[in-house]
Chains A and B, each alone.
Chain A
Amino acid sequence: MQKNRALTLGAIAVSAALLAGCSTGSGGSGGSDGSGEGTVKLVAWPGPEGDAMAEVVDAYNAGQGKEDGVEVEVTLLSRQDTFSKETALMASKSSDVDIYWTASYNVGQFAPSLEPLTDIDTSAYFPVAAEGLTYEGELYALPLDVSNHFLLYRKDLIDALLSNPAAQAEYEKISETVLGEARAPKDPSEWDLDDFKVAAAYFSQSTNPDSPTEYGTILQAKNLLYNTMIWNDVLWGYGGNWEEDGKAALTSDAAKKAVQLYADIYENKWTSPDSAQAEFPETQAALQSGDTAFAIQWSAAFAALNDPEQSPDVAGKIAIAPVPGGQTHVHALAVSLNKYSENKDAAKKFLSFLATTDAMTQYAEAGGIPAMPEVLEAKADINPAFAQVSDSISEYGFSEPVFPQTFQAYSKLAEDLSGAWVGQSDVDEALETANANLQELLDR
């Protein structure tokens, strides 16, 4: 009997020891600074930004890293779930990763798990990019890759429209039906959101059977937080905002117009019915196929659309203009120091290196869009959009309100509004719901 009891106790002891092992790293208020040398683990996501980062890391490991006594290891997670996996690591106060992949839209939420970056020179960055990563007066992340939106359009089709009087007359006739006023076609750089709507109708075969494209545009209307960022261009373009003085403002006329514009475009088949589930890749596919005349799209898309290998049907025909309405969301993908890292000093050496124009020049050469105006202008030969990115961010860029629940607000708005964007639910009801949910997030 005693032997049995001893065995049972032994089993419990081993189990307890194992369980204790499972909870390693879950206590304490933060990791140690370490020796300032050794391996630094960095998380990135796959795609152009992660690939460019990997090249910068290779260059660092082969050069400056040897002097610093630091070697950086990059782990690429999935593009869809990088933030989810980081969230799980943060929740367990893990020290497995030294540098997290973060962004303007989640830095407020992640801040309790991050170490403020106090000793790093940020003067070379776009001020708006650094501000977007500052929470409660502290910089929590270094801007790496800056993102904004453009109107990407088929220049050949617009040129044909602007040079053909019969086509212009047809355009004005359609404008009369769509807007109640006969607007003449304009160069896309002069479009407002009404021009965007008329052009969407004109280039759609549902309204204009002679249209060279099946659809005028493609809306990114999937229930996805990144699509809220694009819809925000329309909201801001109509003069709206998420909130005014801490009060949610989504029942404004601007918000109603912004949702109604999407719903009108969707219901009139001026965008593909499949755009109910569209995001970045579907928008690229629609433009690449030649079936769609224009779209509001992320800045990173432009180079691929004009690459004859990736886009044989449209390369050389795609041009770039500011988003109609003159507003573009801006956010920066960034890197942050894990508060629970056990090698903070070494990680800071690498972060200081990343903040130099030399490192960001390497990043641009590797395919990234660095958040430094000086580098973008100097490297305009690499990507024809670089100069426009720089101009656009300074002229048209806006950032959404920064509060701890910003990330949740993007997701919640996508959830509450995506049905109304595609005419599945009532515009006013959807905005009432979204407004109430946003207010709850603002109040937390």
Chain B
Amino acid sequence: MPHTVERAKTIAAERHKRTFAATVLSLPLILFAAVFVLYPLASGALTAFQSSTLLDQSNELNGIDNFVSLFRSDGFAKAAGFTVGFSAIVVALEMVLGFALALVMNRAFPGKKLFFTLLLLPIMIAPALLGVMFRLLLNGDIGALPTLLESVGLSVSLFSPDSVVPLLVVLDVLQWTPFTFLIIYAGLQSLPKELLEASAMDGAGYFRSLFSVVVPVLKPVLFAAFFLRAIDAIRTFDVIYVLTAGGPGTTTTTLSIFIYKTAFEAGDFGKAAAAALVVLLCLIPFVPFIVRRISSTGMEARR
């Protein structure tokens, strides 16, 4: 009996040591989360329920006034509509093109390394800087691209109201397709060769193997690429703001631009925080769904 008590004490002491070590080791993460995640989140959520403007810095609680004002203004709905439409188009294009490029790059060919490097360049450049570059490059009077097109008899006005939305789609696809490509390419590289060899032995052609073997196995990777790009597309700000500032009118105003203008041009921090909170609450339900898809398909693939 004394032996058992002694043993229990030893086990308890060990457990305390482990708990102590775990607490100490996780302290930096707890602090990081507290300072950079929880505090800003809580502060933002609180601001959404306060009267907080540059002219009225009293920060008094005003219930749901900011939300009422937000939903009464048609700017928020328009921005949400544009953001969803824009994101859906660019993410779809980037997934398809990224996948196609990954399939091309998954084979050996001369100059592959150089092509690979060039392909990744756009994601190395800060989006705001890319916006400034495009602004110069596409300027009708001094830009290289319009001059080049004119030299072959094509006269286009890339910033006119009719072409500005397609232009923004093209620029986003140019910048972010390399991102989806990189993720999918990494997935393809880790694909067991035996799987493809087995499907070939079964007599499956290229497309049959692609859709019946490659795509199902790559599902977690595809979901991850889709998820990361979708989140980023919904947050789109820099390039569009630099090129159009959300116009003409509000034609190209994304939710991020709407929130930025509400906070920093209108000086209405309460309403901007309310808009940010609504966006967050709309996005949160998708997170567990996507994560579940990534995890479950990953498990299926491993089975």
Binding site for B on A (CB under 8 A): 3-4, 7-8, 11, 14-15, 18-19, 22, 80-81, 83-84, 87-88, 90-91, 93, 109-110, 112-113, 221-225, 272-274, 276-278, 282, 285-286, 288-289, 291-292, 404, 407-408, 411-412, 414-416, 418-425, 430
Total A-B contacts with CB atoms under 8 angstroms apart: 149
Report the nearest B residue to A218, measured CB to CB.
B141
Shortest beta-carbon distance from A403 to chain B in Å: 10
CB pair A274 B20 closer than 8 Å: no
Find B159's partner among A88, A274, A291 (CB 8 Å cutoff). Answer: A274
Quick check: B54 and A223 within 8 Å, CB to CB? Answer: no
Interchain CB contact under 8 A, A112 and B55:
yes
Are B247 and A277 within 8 A (Cβ)? yes
15 example contacts (A-B, Cβ-Cβ < 8 A) are as follows A18-B35, A91-B269, A109-B55, A110-B54, A112-B57, A223-B244, A223-B247, A224-B247, A274-B140, A277-B247, A285-B142, A291-B141, A411-B266, A415-B247, A424-B249
Q: Is the CB of B247 within 8 A of A273?
A: no
The docked-state distance in angstroms from the alpha carbon of A274 to that of B159 is 5
Cross-interface CB contact of B141 among A109, A289, A412, A414, cutoff 8 Å: A289
A272: chain B residues within 8 A (beta carbon): 140-141, 157
Q: Known contacts A286-B141, A425-B249: does B159 contact A273 (CB below 8 Å)?
A: yes
Known: A272-B140, A277-B244. A19 touches B34 (CB 8 A): yes
B142 touches A222 (CB 8 A): no
Q: How far is the CA of A93 from the CA of B163 in the complex (A)?
A: 43
Contact A109 B54 (CB under 8 A): yes
Residues of A within 8 A of B30 (CB): 11, 15
Bound complex: CA of A285 vs CA of B267, how far in Å?
A: 32
Contact with A along B54-70 (1 / 0, CB 8 A): 11010000000000000
Size band of the interface chain B makes with A: 35 or more
Given contacts A22-B35, A88-B264, A273-B160, contact A404 B250 (CB under 8 A): no
Q: Within 8 Å CB of A88, what residues of B?
A: 264
- The residues of A that contact B269 with a CB separation of less than 8 Å are 91
Q: Please determine whether B35 and A109 come into contact, CB atoms closer than 8 angstroms.
A: no
Say which residue of A19, A81, A83, A404 sits within 8 Å of B39 (CB atoms). Answer: A19
Known: A18-B34, A276-B161; 11 extra A-B contacts, CB below 8 A, are A3-B16, A8-B23, A14-B27, A19-B34, A22-B39, A272-B157, A273-B140, A276-B159, A277-B159, A415-B247, A419-B248
Contact B164 A276 (CB under 8 A): yes
Given A11-B23, A91-B54, A273-B160, CB of A285 within 8 Å of CB of B139: yes
- How far apart are B225's CB and chain A's nearest CB, in angstroms? 31
Known: A91-B57, A222-B245. A424 touches B264 (CB 8 A): no
Taking A15-B31, A273-B160 as contacts, is the C-beta distance between A404 and B141 under 8 angstroms? no
Given the contacts A22-B39, A274-B157, A289-B141, A222 and B244 also touching, CB distance less than 8 Å: yes
Chain B residues within 8 Å of A, Cβ to Cβ: 16, 19-20, 23-24, 27, 30-31, 34-35, 39, 52, 54-55, 57, 75, 139-142, 157-161, 164, 242-251, 260-261, 263-267, 269
Q: Which 5 A-B pairs have the closest CB atoms?
A: A223-B247, A419-B249, A273-B157, A273-B160, A84-B264
Q: Which residue of B lies closest to A411 (CB)?
A: B265
Q: Quick check: A415 and B140 within 8 Å, CB to CB?
A: no
Bound-complex Cα distance A412 to B251 (A) = 14
Q: Determine the distance from Cα of A128 to Cα of B20 in the docked complex, in whole angstroms.
A: 69
Given A277-B164, A289-B141, A424-B161, check contact A112 B54 (CB 8 Å).
yes
Query: Quick one: given A93-B57, A408-B267, are A223 and B23 in contact (CB under 8 Å)?
Result: no
Shortest Cβ distance from residue B68 to the other chain A in the assembled complex, whole angstroms: 14
Q: Which residue of B lies closest to A278 (CB)?
A: B159
CB nearest neighbor in A for B142 = A285
How many whole Å from A113's CB to the nearest CB in chain B? Answer: 7
| B284 to A: closest C-beta gap in Å | 24
> Known contacts being A7-B20, A11-B27, is A274 close to B249, with CB within 8 Å?
no
CA distance A84 to B272 in the complex (A): 13
Residues of B within 8 A of A288 (CB): 141-142
Nearest opposing residue in chain B for A4, CB measure: B19
Among A19, A278, A415, A422, which residue has its beta carbon within 8 angstroms of that of B250?
A415
